[in-house]
């Protein structure tokens, strides 16, 4: 029996790890395009070459811990965290090139040395990470895929929670935010079933109020305008 992966298996693997959504929106402004061409290659993480066992080596500055943000949008939250915590290394994953360009502009303007970028889907990147490499993962307002037939595309799944557990250090956290009630319930149910994590909330305010130092994104502002309220869920990996 051949050990080579069949075409059907390859297609199945591609479907399991591929990104569902837009890659590019409006045309980039000239400076944004220049940043994508010249700054991004200096900051990008290429999973074709496995990252070092010590991910801190990806940064040109000493970092005490590493955090990952999945789907950073325009990068407001990621950049604010990186600016507030220069001792921490931040890795952002975003397949939408316009969002990557916006983050690059902020990195350039604020001279942020502690940010690296994966311009693509987070799933394959997480698979490439060493065990226990991260102290925190942010999954902020992932696409809710509201239609029932689409829900298999949601970021939060038993397989992804297992992946989170592998790459987080003991005591590490997953921070999840959404303004979709169904997705909040979906996420709680799957984390409870996984058992590698505990939900840290002890009272309603713990999940109705954002984390200290929270940066409100443009997406969140729009949600509030139309009356949608966010929830903020923290799951801590067992030590």
Question: Is residue 3 assigned to a domain?
Answer: no
Question: Is residue 11 assigned to a domain?
Answer: no
* pLDDT attached to residue 25: 60
The single-letter DSSP state of residue 111 is T
Number of domains in the chain: 1
Question: Is residue 13 assigned to a domain?
Answer: no
By the 8 A CB rule, do 229 and 179 touch?
yes
Q: Annotate 24-39 with three-state secondary structure.
A: CCCCCCHHHHHHHHHC
Over residues 155-214, the pLDDT tens digits come to 999 999 999 999 999 999 999 999 999 999 999 999 999 999 999 999 988 999 999 999
Over residues 67-117, the pLDDT tens digits come to 999 999 999 999 999 999 999 999 999 999 999 999 999 999 999 999 999
* pLDDT attached to residue 21: 38
> Looking at residue 137, which CATH number applies to its domain?
3.40.50.150
Question: Is residue 12 assigned to a domain?
Answer: no
* pLDDT attached to residue 111: 96
Question: Is residue 5 assigned to a domain?
Answer: no
Rounded to whole angstroms, how far apart are CA atoms 98 and 183?
A: 25
* pLDDT attached to residue 24: 57
By the 8 A CB rule, do 123 and 15 touch?
no
Mention every residue, 6+ apart, whose C-beta is less than 8 A from residue 205: none
Question: Is residue 2 assigned to a domain?
Answer: no
Q: What is the DSSP string of 33-86?
A: HHHHHHTHHHHB--TTSPPPSSGGGGSSS--SEEEEEES-TTSHHHHHHHHH-T
Question: Is residue 8 assigned to a domain?
Answer: no
By the 8 A CB rule, do 91 and 101 touch?
no
Neighbours of 161 (CB within 10 A): 20
* pLDDT attached to residue 91: 97
* pLDDT attached to residue 17: 37
Is residue 182 part of the annotated active site? The answer reads no
Mention every residue, 6+ apart, whose C-beta is less than 8 A from residue 95: 19, 21, 23, 119, 120, 121
Catalytic residue among 9, 143, 179, 181: 143
* pLDDT attached to residue 148: 85
Question: Domain span at residue 51?
Answer: 20-237
Strands (E) in the chain, as ranges, are 65-70, 88-93, 115-118, 134-140, 168-178, 197-199, 231-237
Question: Is residue 100 assigned to a domain?
Answer: yes
Backbone dihedral region for residue 73 (phi beyond 0: left; psi -120 to 50: alpha; all else: beta): left
């Amino acid at each position: 029996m051949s050990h080579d992966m069949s075409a059907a298996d390859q297609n199945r693997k591609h479907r399991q790890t591929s990104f569902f959504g837009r890659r590019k929106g409006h045309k980039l402004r000239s400076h944004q395009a220049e940043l994508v061409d010249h700054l991004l290659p200096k900051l990008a993480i290429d999973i074709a070459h496995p990252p070092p066992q010590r991910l801190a080596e990806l940064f040109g500055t000493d970092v005490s811990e590493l955090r990952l943000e999945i789907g950073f949008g325009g990068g407001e939250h990621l950049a604010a965290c990186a600016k507030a915590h220069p001792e921490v290394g931040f890795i952002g994953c975003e397949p939408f090139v316009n969002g990557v360009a916006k983050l690059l502009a902020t990195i350039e303007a604020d001279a942020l040395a502690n940010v690296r970028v994966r311009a693509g889907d987070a799933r394959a990147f997480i698979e490439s990470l060493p065990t226990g490499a991260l102290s925190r993962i942010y999954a902020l307002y992932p696409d809710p895929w509201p239609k029932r037939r689409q829900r298999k595309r949601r970021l939060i799944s038993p397989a992804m929670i297992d992946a989170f557990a592998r790459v987080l250090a003991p005591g590490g956290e997953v921070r999840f935010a959404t303004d979709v009630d169904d997705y909040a319930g979906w996420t709680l149910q799957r984390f409870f079933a996984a058992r590698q994590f505990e939900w840290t909330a002890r009272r309603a305010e713990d999940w109705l109020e954002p984390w200290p130092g929270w940066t409100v994104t443009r997406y969140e502002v729009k949600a509030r305008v139309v009356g949608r309220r966010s929830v903020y869920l923290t799951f801590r990996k067992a030590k």
